[in-house]
Amino acid sequence: MSRNDYEVIIGLEVHVELSTKTKIFCSCPTEFGGEPNTHTCPICMAMPGTLPVLNEKVVEYAVKAGLATNCEVSRDSKNDRKNYFYPDTPRAYQISQYDKPLCENGYIEIETNGDKKKIGITRIHIEDDAGKLNHDDFGGESLVDLNRAGVPLIEIVSEPDLRNAEEVEKYMRKLKSILEYIEVSDCKMQEGSFRGDINVSVHKPGEPYGTRTEMKNMNSFRSIARAIEYEVERQIDILEEGRKVEQESLRWDDVSGKTFSMRDKEDAEDYRYFPEPDLVAIKLSEEYIQNIKNTLPELPESRKERYLKQYELSEKDANIITSSKYLSDLFESAIKECDNPKAVNNWIISDISRILNEKEMEAIDIPFNGEELGKLVILIDKGIISSSIGKKVLTELFEEPKNPEDIIKEKGWIQISDEGAIKEIVMKILDSNPQSIADFKAGKDRALGFLVGQAMKETKGKANPKMLNEMFLEELKK
């Protein structure tokens, strides 16, 4: 057998910060950032004698997430203490859920090679986030910031159903988009509101699954792919040398491109879970669950089907747009304004996606709204601006969103469609390009394109291209 005969087995634990206004057990704000330790109170700072009170919204959001991922919702759930010491967790235990999570036995679907594949969701439970240690610039000391302590999390544990990095990315993206649609989290990966622990093992088909290692807190798809590749090779090396893979938690280092053992979690941990005595059991009625079910919005899958039928978008484009609630909402509100789904689709797929990439922004951060995008499309459709000016307007919209009509007025970008003005430009360009005239007459049609291009350059893209074309032809044929 060779290295290629190993099968890779991957299961994920995804942590998602919920976008409730207040923390899970106190009324401090959950807002990201802020001066260290300003979003805190005696409860989330774990002062002795304080008592937690469960934020009802957290339960609602977790149940929503469970319903949107085809889980069974438990009618009878509870919180448990998970004991461990870590300096960013002053309580020395986390309040999580052990044997009675809120949601169990769900799945979501991903597409691989044109086929749909179900990825099982083992469980979804609620817990509190830890604070944050700041290691830099304090003369060798570390300082703790408890603003994040007590921010509500759901942990979504998958079955070991994933087989490679591509499937992992598809699964995470699908999960992220579902959570965005149901509005329980902003899922900002760069702010850590959506992060995954990646469990990886290798085995030979037919044999039992191998021992897994776990890479903690991964929040970029690129790092995840590199980390999986590295870890798979490392494990195969170990097995091929006749040694055993140790079950351990690893830290991926993006700079060296390697995984490192996190010493504090070398042994299978014993958290000594026990029911949280300071909180009551969570009993949910049928009516409560049904009410939440009724609030679920249209999910990405169904929006996609609708876009294919209703707007005749390509499968690929519909996938891209509906994979993000924010892109999809932008699309819908823009076509309400301009009634040109094809054009809006093109703007989103090409220029908007490109700018998001360049600026390393996520769709949620697009500063303008669908109405403004729709107005831009109308300006082009009406021939008031050319599409190349349209691109400049879009860049402006990213800088300072406002009515595109005001942008083109302020910038003097209105298309030149005045016959006299166009004629003047055409004559000027012809005068200075006698060679092109000769070329055209000698049958080289390309010369026309060149002349139009020169005229566009001369007018900084403002001349009406259709009129230019017609008028050049007219003159050249004289």
Helix (H, G, I), strand (E, B) or coil at 274: strand
Q: Which of 41, 225, 421, 448 binds Zn ion (CB under 5 A)?
A: 41
- Cα separation, 436 vs 451, in Å, equals 7
Closest distance to Mg ion from the beta carbon of 155 (Å):
9
Tell the smallest beta-carbon distance from residue 10 to ligand ADP (Å).
6
The residue nearest Mg ion at its CB is 13
User: x/- binding map, residues 7-36, to Mg ion, per CB under 5 A?
Assistant: ------x-----------------------
φ, ψ for residue 332, nearest 5 deg: -65, -40
Within 182-201, the residues that bind ligand ADP by CB under 6 A are: 199-201
Q: Which is nearer to ligand ADP, 199 or 459 (CB)?
A: 199
Phi, psi (rounded to 5 degrees) for 295: -90, -5
As measured in angstroms, the least distance from the Cβ of 268 to ligand ADP is 7
In the bound complex, what is the minimum distance in angstroms from residue 167's beta carbon to ligand ADP?
13
Q: Which of residues 201-230 bind ligand ADP (CB under 6 A)?
A: 201, 209-210, 212, 214
The answer to whether 9 contacts ligand ADP (rule: CB under 6 A) is yes
Phi, psi of 49 (to 5 degrees): 90, -10
Residues 6+ apart with CB under 8 A from 345: 311, 313, 317, 321, 331
CB of 336 to Zn ion, least distance (A): 41
Report the partner that residue 159 touches, choosing among ligand ADP, Zn ion, Mg ion, none (CB closer than 5 to 8 A by kind).
Answer: ligand ADP
Q: Which of 49, 23, 46, 25 is nearest to 34 (CA)?
A: 23
1-to-6, 240, 342 alpha-carbon distances in Å: 9, 10, 52
CA 16 to each of CA 53, 195, 286, 357: distance values in angstroms, whole numbers, following the listed order: 20, 7, 26, 23
Are the C-beta atoms of residues 127 and 97 closer than 8 Å to each other? yes
Q: Is 12 in the site for ligand ADP (CB under 6 A)?
A: yes
Residue 28 interacting entry, from Mg ion, Zn ion, ligand ADP, none, C-beta within 5 to 8 Å by type: Zn ion
* Residue from 29, 36, 160, 401 binding ligand ADP (CB under 6 A): 160
Do 17 and 195 touch, CB atoms closer than 8 A? no
Among 14, 26, 338, 447, binds Zn ion (CB under 5 A): 26
119 binds ligand ADP (CB under 6 A): no
CB 141, min distance to Zn ion, A? 25
**Cβ distance to Zn ion smaller for residue 44 or 157:** 44
Side-chain-facing half-sphere of 465: CA atoms under 13 Å: 16
Give the helix/strand (H/E) hosting 14: strand 7-17
* Cβ nearer to ligand ADP, comparing 12 with 54: 12
Burial class (CB in 10 A: 0-12, 13-18, 19+), 452: buried
Instruction: Give Cα 153 distance to the centre of its chain.
Output: 17
Q: Which of residues 8, 10, 24, 28 is near Zn ion by CB under 5 A?
A: 28
Residues 103-142 that bind Mg ion (CB under 5 A): none
Tokens standing for residue 94: 């986390």
Binding site for Mg ion (CB under 5 A): 13
Binding site for ligand ADP (CB under 6 A): 9-13, 157-160, 199-201, 209-210, 212, 214
Binding site for Zn ion (CB under 5 A): 26, 28, 41, 43-44
